[in-house]
Amino acid sequence: MKRDIRSELSGNIPADLMEMVPRSFDILGSKGHAVAVIEIPSELEQYGKVIGEALMRVQRNVKSVLSKSSERMGEYRVRNMVLLTGDQDTEVIHKESGCYFKVDPVTAYFSPRESTEREKVSSQVSPGERVLVMFSGIGPFAICIAKRQPMAQCIAIELNPYAHKYCLENIRLNKVGDRVSAIMGDVRQVCPALDEKFDRVLMPLPKGAYEYLDVAIPMVNPGGVLYFYHWAQRNDPFSEGERILLQAVWGLGRNAEITERVKVSQYSPSAWKIRLNAKIG
Ligand SMILES: C[S@@+](CC[C@H](N)C(=O)[O-])C[C@H]1O[C@@H](n2cnc3c(N)ncnc32)[C@H](O)[C@@H]1O
């Protein structure tokens, strides 16, 4: 039977601190080679290496253990991380729903926790549709859509050069180069230059997508769907996002019907990441 990280640590950490050892952590990678990302409470900082080593004994495929040392920051939405133990090279290939995603979590955003959301969104795409993925990162939405709906075409736009480089590699790895194109740049400049409209426009940047609604809405075909992500208050998750979205739509002389309201994941005890689907008229 697989041992739990706390039992693995017994005797190495004072008993009164054991309760604080996190039982859950993210694992990115494969059965052969993975990286773990863990959040160590400040009280346990001096035991970081010991915790990392215990984690590697429990999860034999983990070759490096990274500890989160900041929130996600800046435009690229990556966090500072400290290597607790293991291999300096933290690049892995993560497998999810038949897709392969090469990524180094130190340089580019990727969350294995969002696989269900990617599945849900990609299942909505129909043959022949054109999809724009703004803020596309290493390409998980575009690639998931292209794998699931081979008759759709996707354009993925990303600002972080490391994430864009991985997106290009992931397009090759997943053999979807005939239906996914990746562009590096700021959506504010790239979108207007595309000079076309899309059946679906995804905005997977919960922190700040609302600042780009003026860019995204004109990219949606009449009758097409905008996927708007937003950070929301737990006690009233949808009102603020709906108000911001509808005001932006009306301000641009379009109309919209909210067709889906989804609580995607819990970001903190008080905040949720939500998605609103809006059919844009
Ligand atoms: C929350 S991450 C999501 C990445 C990806 N969609 C995913 O689900 O893994 C948001 C991404 O948007 C990118 N980004 C932020 N501002 C941008 C902009 N103005 N234009 C293009 N990409 C941007 C960041 O670099 C980051 O990779």
pLDDT digits (tens, 9 = 90+) for 209-240: 999 999 999 999 999 999 999 999 989 999 99
3-state secondary structure of 149: coil
pLDDT of 111 reads 95
Count Cβ atoms below 10 Å from residue 151 Cβ, excluding itself: 11
Residue nearest to ligand 1 atom 1, measured at CA: 205
Of 135, 168, 275, the one to substitute when testing ligand 1's pocket (max ligand atoms within 8 A of C-beta) is 135
Going by alpha carbons, the residue nearest to atom 14 of ligand 1 is: 135
Per-residue pLDDT band for 97 (boundaries 50, 70, 90) equals: very high
Per-residue pLDDT of 171-218, as tens digits, reads 999 999 999 999 999 999 999 999 899 999 999 999 999 999 999 999
Q: Residues near 234 by Cβ (< 8 Å), separated by ≥ 6? A: 266, 269, 270, 271, 272
Closest of 128, 176, 136 to residue 152, by C-alpha: 128
Identify the band that residue 68 occupies on the pLDDT scale cut at 50, 70 and 90.
very high
Q: Give the DSSP letter of residue 162.
A: H
Of 156, 101, 112, 119, whose CA–CA distance to 134 is shortest? 156
Backbone angles phi, psi at 73, to 5 degrees: -130, 160
Is pLDDT at 1 greater than 70 in this prediction? Answer: no
pTM of the model: 0.95
Query: What's the gap in Å between 241 CA and the centre of ligand 1?
Result: 19
pLDDT tens profile 244-271: 999 999 999 999 999 999 999 998 888 9
Query: What 8-state DSSP symbol labels residue 248?
Result: H
Give me the count of residues in the chain: 281
Alpha-carbon span 23 to 8, nearest angstrom: 12
Residue type present at position 256? A
Q: What's the pLDDT at 2?
A: 60
Tokens 């190495």 identify what position? 12
Given a contact cutoff of 8 angstroms between Cβ atoms, the answer to whether 197 and 252 are in contact is no
Torsion of CA 211, 213, 214, 219, to 10 degrees: 140
**Closest residue (by CA) to atom 20 of ligand 1?**
186
What gap in Å lies between CA 9 and CA 268, rounded to an integer?
Answer: 27
